[in-house]
Structure 1
Amino acid sequence: MIKIGFVTCVQLGLSCMEALHEAGGQLSFAMTLEDDQAVNKSGRVYLDDFCECHSVPLLKSRHVNNCDVIEAIKSHELDWLFIIGWSQIASEDLLRSPKRGVLGMHPTLLPQGRGRAAIPWAILKGLDKTGVTLFKLDTGVDTGPIVDQVVIPLSSSTNAQELYQSVNKAHIALMRKVVPVLMADKLNLQEQDRSLATEWPGRRPEDGQIDLNGSVYDAEKLVRAVTRPYPGAFYLNEGKKIVVWKAQTTESPSVNALEFKDGWLELIEFEVSRSF
């Protein structure tokens, strides 16, 4: 019997755990943070009820690389360990602890878009599609062999909130698809084509500043790319920071419109954040 473990502390990870069980899988171990950690993290959840309901041994630890976690993985004789929605980087010791390895997901079509800020970058780059990749973790950054992918089409109006929801659904779809294969021990790994690899850098809240001297089309794209659940696009006006959550290009000015060299940006949803 293939033994599977899971590491998560967010709703997306819990949804994947639920999908795993719905697909006929059985967890032999779960690990999460201590209750007092990451209490303000977006999507933070607690696994106690799920693990009690499904009789899954649950370990709480302050870091995934701690000795108690590695010892627990080995003692439960796990074949595979999923790490989903987790910000701590897995050590080599952890990656070697399950018999067959550690699996994770990345919200791009690897090898494209290794790195950070996958959802904003997919929109900013004007891609016509992105997706989610299930892959085996190695010591590199999103470089491990691919298990499977789900493609997510993008349009010229897709915003970060919509893509975020699509990415979540793709995670669950991948989990449901791979579990029967995993349990049958028929997982097929495909090495990434390094010649096609691209790396996307992290983004900071200040990267959301709208260039009022630039193109209106770039500004509109930026608004869509960093709207909720991200910090939002913004511009400065008389010492105030105006955060723009929704906007559209227009050929004529209006009361709530910003002028650019190649058109106008009509602000549909915005707020005065604070003095800057």
Structure 2
Amino acid sequence: MKAVVFAYHNVGVRCLKVLLARGVDIALVVSHEDNPQETIWFDSVAAICREHGIPVVTPSNPDNPELLAQITALQPDFIFSFYYRHMLPVTLLSLAKHGAYNMHGSLLPKYRGRVPINWAVLYGETETGATLHEMTAKPDAGFIVAQTAVPILPDDTAHEVFGKVVVAAEQTLWNALPAMLSGKPTKLPNDLSQGSYFGGRKPEDGKIDWQQTAQAVYNLYRAVAPPYPGAWTVVGDTTFVIENARLSTIVTPNLPLGLAVEDNCIFGVCGDGRALLIKSLTADGKTVTAEMLQATLQRNAGQTPQ
């Protein structure tokens, strides 16, 4: 069986390795050029392709006549998308004789769309997973072939959950491939009424609203903790980013909302009177101590936290 694979990131690397281990002929990989403005903390699809002698191209847009002609000439049995960042046009999907399939980082139909792991953590979910599904004109809407669940523990960051989902994606594809290669893929319903579509997130979405409950602020921290851009707040003209935090068991009724220092510890005091105990705080990429923060707070006393 011959496949054309659209792939990027760790999920792309692991799922490519599964296809190779199952004996699939990967005729072409379509990937992305790394963005110099982005922190590249993940594995390289292009490196795996070089290692295995697989042709790889990186068009800025998959909806172009040159790529369509190239894939048409290959006559693939399957088209796969593993963490590729663009929607594939129907004209491409229709070239796969045995179907076009995507690996999505949630338990569909929940959390369709962009950055599903970050959204799941933000909304306090206790599990998510990986879903292999048919690609259609509408995103994440085709029938489900297989899915694997993973837990989201109370203190897991999105990065930690992502590591679990990479393994879940590998397991899902490994288990589903034999039936797919024999022409008998499982077809489970994907009831879109049971989930919602979510868009992408930007660094500015990490701004903390200290009026929220401590659990809500903690979920935001976990959803965007490094290597993502982080949860942040402004004191005076300084932007502080929370690098590491935990929910505090200490009640803080006498501390103002926002960043505060008590007993040489840094807290983030929230609207319900509870707080985050902040173990690591940075500004301009440098670590901020409790003493340094206290000096900033004193200089800006009386200001409303931003």
TM-score (norm 2): 0.80
1: CA distance, partners of 2:152 / 2:118: 12
The letter of the residue matching 1:234 is: W
Q: Which moved more, 1:49-58 or 1:6-15?
A: 49-58
1:133, distance to aligned residue in structure 2 (A): 0.7
Task: Please list every run of 5 or more consecutive structure 1 residues that lacks an aligned counterpart in the other structure.
Answer: none
Residues 30 and 57 of structure 2 are in contact (CA less than 8 Å); yes or no, is this contact kept in structure 1?
yes
1:93, distance to aligned residue in structure 2 (A): 1.0
The correspondence of residues 168-187 of structure 1 with structure 2, limited to 5 A, is 168-187=166-185
Q: 1:257 aligns with which of 267, 270, 290?
A: 267
2: CA distance, partners of 1:32 / 1:263: 45
1:113, distance to aligned residue in structure 2 (A): 0.9
2: CA distance, partners of 1:12 / 1:63: 20
Query: Who is 1:5 aligned against?
Result: 4
2: CA distance, partners of 1:213 / 1:28: 53
SS at match of 1:222: helix
Query: Who is 2:256 aligned against?
Result: none
1: CA distance, partners of 2:45 / 2:159: 24
2: CA distance, partners of 1:271 / 1:74: 51
1:84 and 2:82 are equivalent in the alignment: yes
Q: Identity of paired residues, percent?
A: 25
Residues 155 and 246 of structure 2 are in contact (CA less than 8 Å); yes or no, is this contact kept in structure 1?
no
Residues 123 and 224 of structure 1 are in contact (CA less than 8 Å); yes or no, is this contact kept in structure 2?
yes
The letter of the residue matching 2:267 is: A
Q: Which moved more, 1:180-189 or 1:263-272?
A: 180-189
Q: Which moved more, 1:206-215 or 1:248-257?
A: 248-257
Residues 109 and 192 of structure 2 are in contact (CA less than 8 Å); yes or no, is this contact kept in structure 1?
yes
1: CA distance, partners of 2:77 / 2:275: 56
Q: 1:114 aligns with which of 112, 115, 129?
A: 112
The letter of the residue matching 2:24 is: G
2: CA distance, partners of 1:259 / 1:53: 50
Q: Number of residue pairs matched?
A: 270
Query: Who is 1:38 aligned against?
Result: 34
2: CA distance, partners of 1:214 / 1:137: 38
1:76-117 Cα shifts (integer Å, max 9, x gaps): 221111122222221121111222332111111111111223
Q: 2:133 aligns with which of 128, 132, 135?
A: 135
1:16 and 2:22 are equivalent in the alignment: no
1: CA distance, partners of 2:120 / 2:35: 29
Query: Who is 1:267 aligned against?
Result: 278
1:126 and 2:120 are equivalent in the alignment: no
Residues 115 and 200 of structure 2 are in contact (CA less than 8 Å); yes or no, is this contact kept in structure 1?
yes
Taking a change above 3 Å as real, the CA distance of residues 23 and 45 of structure 1, as seen in their structure-2 partners, is same
The correspondence of residues 37-76 of structure 1 with structure 2, limited to 5 A, is 37-40=33-36, 42=40, 43=42, 45=44, 47=46, 50-51=48-49, 54=52, 56-59=54-57, 61-76=59-74
Task: Please list every run of 5 or more consecutive structure 2 residues that lacks an aligned counterpart in the other structure.
Answer: 252-261, 286-305
The letter of the residue matching 2:30 is: M
Residues 16 and 171 of structure 1 are in contact (CA less than 8 Å); yes or no, is this contact kept in structure 2?
yes
SS at match of 1:148: strand
1:30, distance to aligned residue in structure 2 (A): 2.6
Residues 133 and 150 of structure 1 are in contact (CA less than 8 Å); yes or no, is this contact kept in structure 2?
yes
Residues 98 and 183 of structure 2 are in contact (CA less than 8 Å); yes or no, is this contact kept in structure 1?
no
Q: Which moved more, 1:86-95 or 1:246-255?
A: 246-255
The letter of the residue matching 1:239 is: D
1:180, distance to aligned residue in structure 2 (A): 1.9
Residues 115 and 200 of structure 1 are in contact (CA less than 8 Å); yes or no, is this contact kept in structure 2?
yes
The letter of the residue matching 1:12 is: V
1:179, distance to aligned residue in structure 2 (A): 2.2
1:168-218 Cα shifts (integer Å, max 9, x gaps): 112222222222222222212223113313222332212211112222222
Higher relative contact order (CA 8 A, sep 6+): 1
2: CA distance, partners of 1:44 / 1:141: 25
Taking a change above 3 Å as real, the CA distance of residues 80 and 264 of structure 1, as seen in their structure-2 partners, is same
